[in-house]
Chain A
């Protein structure tokens, strides 16, 4: 194993083109909004975004406004994948080469929309599905989802989440999708590389985007990117991709302490040192399992 330099260097230039207008209704420091902004820079203008019920229902603009410079199709909560599949089939019938991006939160992906997503992935429909994961139902006011990490406070886990979060990447990889990847806004060039790569692949592509949420995670809005980086560096959210079943770690964490990551967020403030240690042990085991099946690539940290 090579040692990795300290920072995510922007050797991958980020286009100046913007497909997201300012003036959208995302909270200050919203990670989900930054994620969309960078995803669309990679996707380009010939993209349709299918948005299911989520914070993004509002961020995309209230009728008759839109914050997106690409067409968007809003859909019911559980229906992002199936709506995207139908739309893609229709565009193909029309003879149009337009990318369909299904965009859903963790609730819309890991919980209520999982069945439809599983079916689209099993059929290998030609869609890019991005789950922007803010680790709870934020649009309804911070309720637990199956993406909520162990120990996190939400309004429906007032004593802290008592189960580790569902591993959506393993679930999607088990479907045999041609491409799956984790990304986060703390590493924008890694994010854009993966989205660009996904764009060029046919079939169901899945991207799991950790999207820090100042409102729900209880941190100051200027910390979004820092927290996203700490999530990766503390192994809470490893960056990797799975291409045709082959795992590739795209950034080697620099072993920042988990405590540092958790302490910045109000949702973890009631954790005892023992509980933090327990979470860290869990994450370390998960990391070892991931390492055991991965090879290391360098493009996130050249």
Chain B
């Protein structure tokens, strides 16, 4: 069935189709309509789940953790300050190897208060051990929720599905809603690796004073994330077989002969596609790389997609203050080669605080990068310098 819906509704439909069983939730703009929608579904019995009206995002994640220990499918949604408030428990969820799925509606953090889209909220949680998927449109949002459970439960790690506030959360697009039976086949009931059972009592989590023990835990979790690369590919292939749609971990667009490749994530990708078409029409050899999976970072795929490309321009809707755009920092470390054969990397801050990244702006960025041999500043504050 196809329906016109917002990104937030697409999340709710995904969660319903995934048959989440415990949903602790707390409101925050621009996420609120997700949990409203789910509360409604739970109240009417459309979704057989326990909805818990918690008093904070911190408790939302704590309750997800408690529920996930008992092996049920859990979900919560948040945004910016709420995600930051959860920070301690994000580490807990991954360390505990719990396959919690959460939607994060990207929004800038104060100060100053803002409700608009920025990826800094989630990208700055990159070291917490959560898988992170970034969505370009509302169909991808719904589909990514289903894939997120698939991956998370197989690698026993939590997964965050990110969609930009306003650009996706509140904008309606036609979205195909898969049939429940098809989803059940793609995503069978979750069988937790460890069952909480009073007949076989065990301690979950807890403490160690043994440094090598902790070291081994970290290594195992890291390897779980590495394994998630393969599992995410399998999820996408299975998904394609079942539903006829696929996204990849990343996606190259018009990369052939590209002298400059734009790298983007989220809704800027759609805009950048239009810009790349325009630039190609004008004869400029420009391509686009969409980054969909940010954690684990598909480093080899990125390197092979950008092999031989002389210039890369990264559109960052995020900033690590004092260092530059977060994607840019990540991409640079992936592209670094000891033999010096690295492309020139232009780190462009475009879209911070929800500024609209237009096709014109992207064309301008690309043309400027094509004219320059190498970047003379970093980061480039594109909207301020215009």
Binding site for B on A (CB under 8 A): 45-48, 50-51, 57-58, 60-63, 65-66, 68-76, 78-79, 81-94, 96, 98, 115-116, 118-119, 122-123, 125
Contacts and interface: CB of A to CB of B under 8 A. Distances in A.
A93 B62 contact: no
B63 A83 contact: yes
Contacts of A62: 206-210
Best-buried of B53, B67, B206 by chain A (most CB within 10 Å):
B206
Interface string B93-117: 0000000000000000000000000
B244 interface: no
A123 B65 contact: no
A82 B71 contact: no
A57 B66 contact: no
B70 A90 contact: yes
Contacts of B62: 75-76, 78-79, 82-83, 86, 116
A197 to B, nearest CB: 21
27 contacts: A47-B198, A48-B198, A50-B66, A62-B208, A62-B210, A63-B206, A63-B213, A71-B203, A72-B206, A75-B62, A79-B58, A79-B62, A79-B65, A85-B24, A85-B52, A85-B59, A86-B63, A87-B67, A89-B63, A89-B66, A89-B67, A90-B67, A115-B55, A116-B54, A119-B55, A119-B56, A123-B53
B198 A123 contact: no
Given A62-B207, A85-B54, A88-B66, 19 more contacts: A51-B206, A57-B207, A58-B207, A66-B203, A68-B201, A71-B203, A71-B204, A72-B206, A74-B205, A75-B66, A75-B205, A82-B62, A86-B65, A87-B69, A90-B74, A119-B56, A119-B59, A123-B52, A125-B52
B196 to A, nearest CB: 5
A83 B67 CA distance: 7
Given A62-B206, A70-B201, A82 B72 contact: no
B198 A45 contact: yes
B75 to A, nearest CB: 12
A74 B67 contact: no
A90 to B, nearest CB: 4
Nearest to B21: A93
A73 B72 contact: no
Contacts of A58: 207
Nearest to B23: A89
A82 B67 contact: no
A169 to B, nearest CB: 21
A116 B204 contact: no
List 3 tightest A-B contacts by C-beta distance, closest first.
Answer: A86-B63, A86-B66, A119-B55
Given A74-B206, A82-B54, A90 B71 contact: yes
A136 to B, nearest CB: 20
A70 B196 CA distance: 10
Contacts of B205: 73-75
Contacts of B60: 82
B207 A116 contact: no
A299 to B, nearest CB: 29
A217 B65 CA distance: 35
B349 interface: no
B197 interface: yes
A116 B206 contact: no
Contact of A63 (B50, B89, B196, B208): B208
A86 B206 contact: no
Interface centre among A46, A50, A74 (most CB of B within 10 A): A74
A47 B206 CA distance: 18
Contacts of A63: 203, 206-208, 210, 213
B22 interface: yes
B202 interface: yes
Interface in B112-139: none
Contact of B67 (A68, A70, A78, A86): A86
B65 A94 contact: no
B50 A93 contact: yes
Given A73-B196, A83-B65, A86-B65, A78 B50 contact: no
B186 interface: no
B297 interface: no
Contacts of B276: none
B359 to A, nearest CB: 45
Interface centre among A46, A58, A94 (most CB of B within 10 A): A94
A93 B198 CA distance: 16
B378 interface: no
Interface in B292-340: none
A116 B55 contact: yes
A82 B206 contact: no
Given A66-B203, A86-B22, A86-B67, A116 B198 contact: no
A85 B198 contact: no
Scoring B56, B205, B208 by chain A CB atoms within 10 A of each residue's CB, the highest score goes to: B205
B279 interface: no
Contacts of B197: 71
Nearest to A127: B66
Contacts of B88: 76
A48 B24 CA distance: 20
A86 B24 contact: yes
Nearest to A123: B53
B49 interface: yes
A67 to B, nearest CB: 9
Interface string B32-72: 00000000000000000110111110111011111111111
Given A86-B66, A87-B69, A73 B204 contact: yes
Of listed B55, B59, B209, residue having the most chain A CB within 10 A: B59
Interface in B75-96: 88-89, 92
B207 A82 contact: no
Which of the listed residues B49, B58, B208 has the most CB atoms from chain A within 10 Å of its own CB? B58
A70 B52 contact: no
Contacts of B206: 51, 57, 60-63, 66, 72, 74
A94 B198 contact: no
Contacts of B92: 75-76
Contacts of A122: 55
